[in-house]
Amino acid sequence: MKAQLDNISVAAAQEIASASDKASLETVRIKYLGKKGALTAILRGMGALTPEERPVIGAYANTVRANIEAFLEEKGASLASEELKNALVKEKLDVTMPAKVKTVGKLHPITQVENRMKEIFVGLGFDIVEGPEVESAYNNFDALNAPADHPSRDFQDTFYINDTTLLRTQTSPVQIRAMKTMTPPIRIISPGRVYRCDEVDATHSPMFHQLEGLVIDKNITLGDLKGLLELWAKEMFGSDTKTRFRPHNFPFTEPSAEVDVSCFVCGGKGCRLCKGEGWIELLGAGLVHPNVLKAGGIDPEVYSGLAFGMGIERVVMTSYGIDDMRHLYENDIRFLGQF
């Protein structure tokens, strides 16, 4: 049996030395030290030995096992070292090659302009108030002095969910909600998405963004409105910007006006952006109609107010000279990267 153990030791050493990779080394280990391995088979036959021979052969078998395990560990370390060397050669990196440039994202131009508009009005003491995009027809029309036969209430212009619920066509319903929950004096702006049944073209979209403002206090006049919008325009477009009020009609304000700003590209001389007129139509404004104040729970005999509203996309297009609104929604990185 001792001779068999010597043979196993020599054979195992030779096969371990000739193993070329970890898989073949593991095969050798199983062959000699596994549950059905050669050394295990020898140990199972020790029952046929005399009591005097068993401890001697047992000790010798343990020595053989220890030698084989040492050979396996040494060879395993050698194979791992060789594998690392080969990997370093094959996976060599050229540190002189230029690195990949990571593109840093930017805010969308609509978000940039909206943030700037918010910043200006907050600096003037306004609070930002938001409301739901799914709104009641009452808040969207009736409370804003738009009667049942008003053209803006047609199904061809408004996305109705049912007879009494719709996607808001303006952010003005936020003003009604604010008047019902706030006590004058009130100074708020309400930015957000609005929806109208418009065909998609260069200047229209069924979804766009608005920012509306409301001030309610005692003795509010048209002069306050004009001064406020002149100050905003100068902050937004430059200190040389002028404003022009033209009479108009809105159901929720009286008197009402369309507000133009002088073209900040040509300074009012006339260019492609302002179509040679020197002025750019930008927003609607006016003094809050008494009926709207009543709908908001405010006494028009005590308080008066001013309101204004503008499309943020229009401000973006005006600010950057963009001639097609669709560019803002196509997610073309080449276009958006300019901003």
State the CATH number of the domain containing residue 130: 3.30.930.10
Highest mean pLDDT of the ranges 10-19, 255-264, 282-291: 282-291
Asked if residue 100 has pLDDT above 90, the reply is no
86 lies in the same domain as 115: no
188 lies in the same domain as 276: yes
**Range of lowest pLDDT (151-155, 199-203, 239-243, 305-309):** 151-155
Q: Is residue 103 included in any domain, yes or no? A: no
Asked if residue 57 has pLDDT above 80, the reply is no
Task: For 168-183, write each residue's pLDDT tens digit.
Answer: 999 999 999 999 999 9
- Residue 24 structural domain: 2-90
268 lies in the same domain as 130: yes
pLDDT number for residue 173: 95
With H, G, I as helix, E, B as strand and everything else as coil, classify residue 36: coil
Name the domain boundary from 29, 61, 90: 90
- Percent of the chain predicted with pLDDT > 90: 47
113 lies in the same domain as 86: no
133 lies in the same domain as 58: no
Residues with Cβ within 8 Å of 115's Cβ and at least 6 positions away in sequence, in order, are 107
Q: Is residue 101 included in any domain, yes or no? A: no
pLDDT number for residue 47: 66
C-alpha distances out from residue 236 to 213, 231, 316, Å: 15, 9, 11
**pLDDT: which is higher, 221 or 8:** 221
Asked if residue 330 has pLDDT above 80, the reply is yes
Q: What does the mean pLDDT of the chain come to?
A: 88
188 lies in the same domain as 129: yes
Q: Taking the complete model, does pTM exceed 0.75, yes or no?
A: no
Q: Is residue 272 included in any domain, yes or no? A: yes
With H, G, I as helix, E, B as strand and everything else as coil, classify residue 50: coil
What confidence tier does 52 reach under pLDDT thresholds 50, 70, 90? confident
pLDDT number for residue 102: 81
Q: Is residue 99 included in any domain, yes or no? A: no
Q: Is residue 260 included in any domain, yes or no? A: yes
Name the domain boundary from 90, 120, 148: 90
68 lies in the same domain as 158: no
Residues with Cβ within 8 Å of 284's Cβ and at least 6 positions away in sequence, in order, are 248, 250, 253, 256, 257, 258, 259, 308, 309, 310
pLDDT number for residue 157: 84
pLDDT number for residue 39: 75
122 lies in the same domain as 196: yes
What confidence tier does 256 reach under pLDDT thresholds 50, 70, 90? very high
Q: Rounded CA gap, 132 and 177, in Å?
A: 10
Q: Which strand (E) or helix (H) includes residue 233?
A: helix 222-237
Asked if residue 273 has pLDDT above 70, the reply is no
**Range of lowest pLDDT (5-9, 71-75, 142-146, 163-167):** 5-9
Residue type, position 333, single letter? I
Name the domain boundary from 90, 122, 140: 90
Q: How many domains does the structure of the chain reveal? A: 2
**Range of lowest pLDDT (44-48, 298-302, 314-318):** 44-48
Q: Is residue 42 included in any domain, yes or no? A: yes
27 lies in the same domain as 83: yes
pLDDT number for residue 108: 92
180 lies in the same domain as 75: no
Task: For 284-296, write each residue's pLDDT tens digit.
Answer: 999 999 999 999 9
Asked if residue 78 has pLDDT above 90, the reply is no
Q: Is residue 308 included in any domain, yes or no? A: yes
27 lies in the same domain as 143: no
172 lies in the same domain as 271: yes
Average pLDDT over residues 127-143: 95
The count of other CB atoms within 10 Å of the CB of residue 296 is: 25
Q: Is residue 96 included in any domain, yes or no? A: no
Asked if residue 246 has pLDDT above 80, the reply is yes
With H, G, I as helix, E, B as strand and everything else as coil, classify residue 263: coil
With H, G, I as helix, E, B as strand and everything else as coil, classify residue 261: strand
pLDDT number for residue 235: 93
